[in-house]
Copies of this chain bind each other. A is one copy, B any other.
């Protein structure tokens, strides 16, 4: 029952799409908005080693010729491990404190059935709606006694969640439409 760090799951997700080397993976983090993760070799190579030890990924014998490169691919166990991470029901804490990780999970759910995707989004929507309510109650109680700078910081948070409320509404509609078309 190997439990991985978020970085581990990110690597696993990318390796499920296509075999890549540690260097390739690094480049993905540098050159795409997945920059949430560090491009540091000191994080990536040890993480690959862990995944490898747990049999979630396996090196591919490269036909070589070019530079020395160690390509890895996700194993069947790796795919299952990733799938069970992706399938976990979004919690209140995911929504309130780990939005970025939640969106990483969503991004990798490409292989999911539209129904699963829809349930995932609807769970997010429910927690989001409850949490923005909490924030607004907090503002109503504490809002006026906060200094200006603190008020602004708080409002940034509220605005962010409100934007995600609008986003998830549109997302749900889009997936429902897609589902009917199929």
- Chain B residue contacts of A108, Cβ below 8 A: 149-150
Q: At the interface with chain B, which of A1-9, A72-80, A99-107?
A: A99-107
Residues of B contacting A152 with CB < 8 Å?
Answer: 106, 121, 171, 174-175
How many Å from the CB of A60 to the closest CB on chain B?
24
Query: Could you tell me the distance in whole angstroms from the C-beta of A40 to the nearest C-beta in chain B?
Result: 13
Copies in the complex: 2
A154 with B107: in contact, given A138-B32, A175-B148 (CB under 8 Å)?
A: yes
Question: Number of contact residues on A: which range applies?
Answer: 35 or more
**Which of A45-53, A61-69, A158-166 faces chain B?**
A158-166
A156 touches B167 (CB 8 A): yes
CB distance A150 to B96 under 8 Å? no
Residue from B138, B149, B168 within 8 A of A112 (CB atoms): B149
Contact B150 A159, beta carbon cutoff 8 Å: no
Q: Are B148 and A178 in contact (CB under 8 A)?
A: yes
- Is A97 a contact of B149 with CB atoms below 8 Å? no
Is the pair B36, A149 in contact by a Cβ cutoff of 8 Å? no
**7 residue pairs, one from A and one from B, having the closest CB atoms:** A163-B163, A110-B147, A107-B153, A109-B149, A106-B153, A103-B153, A107-B150
